[in-house]
Structure 1
């Protein structure tokens, strides 16, 4: 019964995110909005970690299985990857470098701003 209640909380918040996204025609996917709502509810202590901890740990334990559809999608588009592989790899490397640089600059800015 405990896991069912935890599943209800998580699915309810995910559904709320989907409803808000569709109702307001937001460019943010409903599942992302649901995670933001869950984060806010956790910060505000409306939802306590203990209320979803068991199911969350279970889902994290089997996280690799959630990547199977993505891997199947990659295999299904193997021809496209062969044709555009270098371009995709280049974009991944450049975007990773940009993300690292922007993160570092942001941390430096915040440290200077907070005088840490």
Structure 2
């Protein structure tokens, strides 16, 4: 018997967000020719571009100023601009990749998203 599974639908982790485009931003995503960026991936700034929080080094985590959530599944074979949720929204925690983060990374990300008015339940 063949089993077919679906990938997460775009924006599935969002419970509610601010009116209009207040929660949304556009950022530049670092190219990754191997793996797609999945819905709900937490991204952190690496100077001018964004990388997966799970792949950030200790030095990069110490310097982050923004943490955002990827809204749509994206294949980024070159640096790509993507739509992210950056502020004032409520999301479903188990539909993001926050559990895959190291303790230090998770603490830094939680501090940033809390300050931005993001709630994960």
Shorter-normalised TM-score: what interval? Answer: under 0.3
Larger helix proportion of the pair: 1
Computing the radius of gyration from Cα coordinates, the structure with the larger value is 1
Larger strand proportion of the pair: 2
| Greater relative CO (CA pairs within 8 A, separation 6+) | 2
- The TM-score with structure 1 as length reference comes to 0.22
